[in-house]
Amino acid sequence: MKKGNKYGLHRVIEPKGVLPQPANKLDNNMDEIYDNEILIDVRTLNVDSASFTQIEEQAGGDKAEIARIMLDIVAKQGKHRNPVTGSGGMLLGVVEKIGEALEGKIDLKVGDKIATLVSLSLTPLRIDKIKDIRPDIDQVDIDGKAILFESGIYAKIPDDMPETLALSALDVAGAPAQTAKLVKPGDTVLIIGAGGKSGMLCSYEARKRAGVTGKVIGLCHSERSTKRMQDLGFCDHVFSADATQPVAVLEKIQELTKGQLCDITINNVNIPDTEMTSILCTKDTGIVYFFSMATSFTKAALGAEGVGSDVTMIVGNGYTKGHAEITLQLLRESEKLRKIFTELYAS
């Protein structure tokens, strides 16, 4: 086997010298793998929510056109990085082959079912056939192959839950795990996009961490998601609003917090132009965590400056230590979460 670079530089076709994520094109030839790679027989792509939403809108909701756009992205780049959003997603598959340099050094064997926890925007991917598209949950079943680099992280699919349930949660594992690190007892926390996958997990985790002296506020987009969050009971207050309208949302938050605003705001939406809502609703000394891949960090930085806000803004790194275990454990400990995730994403 040929010797590979830890970070996958050997798969970069152009421009040479950059890492796989910003690269314009990767080598997705799977006939031969390098000594430090894992070959995966891919079953399902869980496309990043911002990316899938953009592709679906571009396709006018037509599944055949969605498939054509996705195949075109992979044909041009050797990976699935949405050229508009820059984001990817993650995948579910079965380990087909392990490079000789990794044998005995990792806890995987051929036949193990895994979810990759690195972005499709840096994963060499070949799609042979698109078998099914499930727009409601941003998942696409395929026949294909992918490469996980030596530096890539993954999670074995657990035996105590369906693979589609585990995949739906692992897709957003960084958000609730980061919430666990950020939220302290007594904090007032705003979850923007509370009714979505990451939003529900973050709301549950924020409730645990803020405790009885804290307050969790959920902002939802639709009446359906608002009702869902009210029924789940993770938030002290849930309301429906357009997160792209910062002044209207700010007025509601001022009302709910008696003018004190929020210690922490966690943005989970999959649409652009919600940066200022997040910033305005947060105290000067507070934290805004942008998990949304639809975030413009130029708008966030210049917007905060423009309104004289001294908030600390955190980029939504999809990885934090132990994030897969933390997130799967939430589905085990909360019967309500597991039930709603099963109904929405695994039925």
CATH of the domain at 311: 3.40.50.720
CA distance 239 to 256: 10
Q: Which of 157, 192, 220 is the last residue of a domain?
A: 157
Let me know if residue 65 belongs to a domain.
yes
How do strand 312-315 and strand 237-240 relate by DSSP bridges? unpaired
pLDDT band at 49 (very low <50, low <70, confident <90, very high): confident
Q: Is the same domain home to 222 and 330?
A: yes
Let me know if residue 275 belongs to a domain.
yes
CA distance 308 to 178: 26
Q: Is 17 exposed, middle or buried (0-12, 13-18, 19+ CB in 10 A)?
A: exposed
Q: Where are the alpha helices (DSSP H) in 26-185?
A: 49-58, 63-77, 163-170, 174-182
Q: Is the same domain home to 21 and 108?
A: yes
pLDDT band at 164 (very low <50, low <70, confident <90, very high): confident
Structurally, how many domains does the chain consist of?
2
Q: What does the angle CA 38 – CA 40 – CA 44 come to, to the nearest 5 degrees?
A: 145
* pLDDT for position 5: 96
Contact 289, 182 (CB under 8 A): yes
Q: Is the same domain home to 145 and 242?
A: no
* Mean per-residue pLDDT over the chain, rounded: 95
Any bridge partners for residue 114, and if so which?
Answer: 93, 156
* pLDDT for position 261: 98
CA distance 156 to 46: 16
Q: Is the same domain home to 134 and 183?
A: no
* pLDDT for position 249: 98
The answer to whether residue 347 scores a pLDDT higher than 90 is no
Q: Is the same domain home to 139 and 228?
A: no
ω into residue 15 within 30 of 0, thus cis?
Answer: yes
pLDDT band at 346 (very low <50, low <70, confident <90, very high): confident
Q: Is the same domain home to 69 and 191?
A: no
CA distance 161 to 224: 26
Which helix (H) or strand (E) is 91 found in, with range? strand 89-98
Let me know if residue 165 belongs to a domain.
no
Q: Is the same domain home to 88 and 229?
A: no
Let me know if residue 63 belongs to a domain.
yes
Contact 168, 134 (CB under 8 A): no
Q: Is the same domain home to 211 and 74?
A: no
Q: Which of 157, 188, 213 is the last residue of a domain?
A: 157
Rounded to 5 degrees, φ, ψ at 238 are -130, 135
Let me know if residue 294 belongs to a domain.
yes
Q: Which of 132, 157, 182 is the last residue of a domain?
A: 157
The answer to whether residue 155 scores a pLDDT higher than 80 is yes
Q: Is the same domain home to 232 and 97?
A: no
Range of 229's domain? 174-345
Q: Is the same domain home to 140 and 289?
A: no
Q: 338 CB contacts (<8 Å, ≥6 apart)?
A: 161, 165, 331, 332
Q: Is the same domain home to 194 and 135?
A: no
Contact 237, 218 (CB under 8 A): yes
Let me know if residue 42 belongs to a domain.
yes
Q: pLDDT tens digit string along 82-117?
A: 999 999 999 999 999 999 999 888 999 999 999 999
Let me know if residue 167 belongs to a domain.
no
Q: Is the same domain home to 148 and 193?
A: no
Rounded to 5 degrees, φ, ψ at 59 are -85, -5
Contact 38, 117 (CB under 8 A): no
Which helix (H) or strand (E) is 39 found in, with range? strand 38-47
pTM of the model: 0.84
Let me know if residue 119 belongs to a domain.
yes
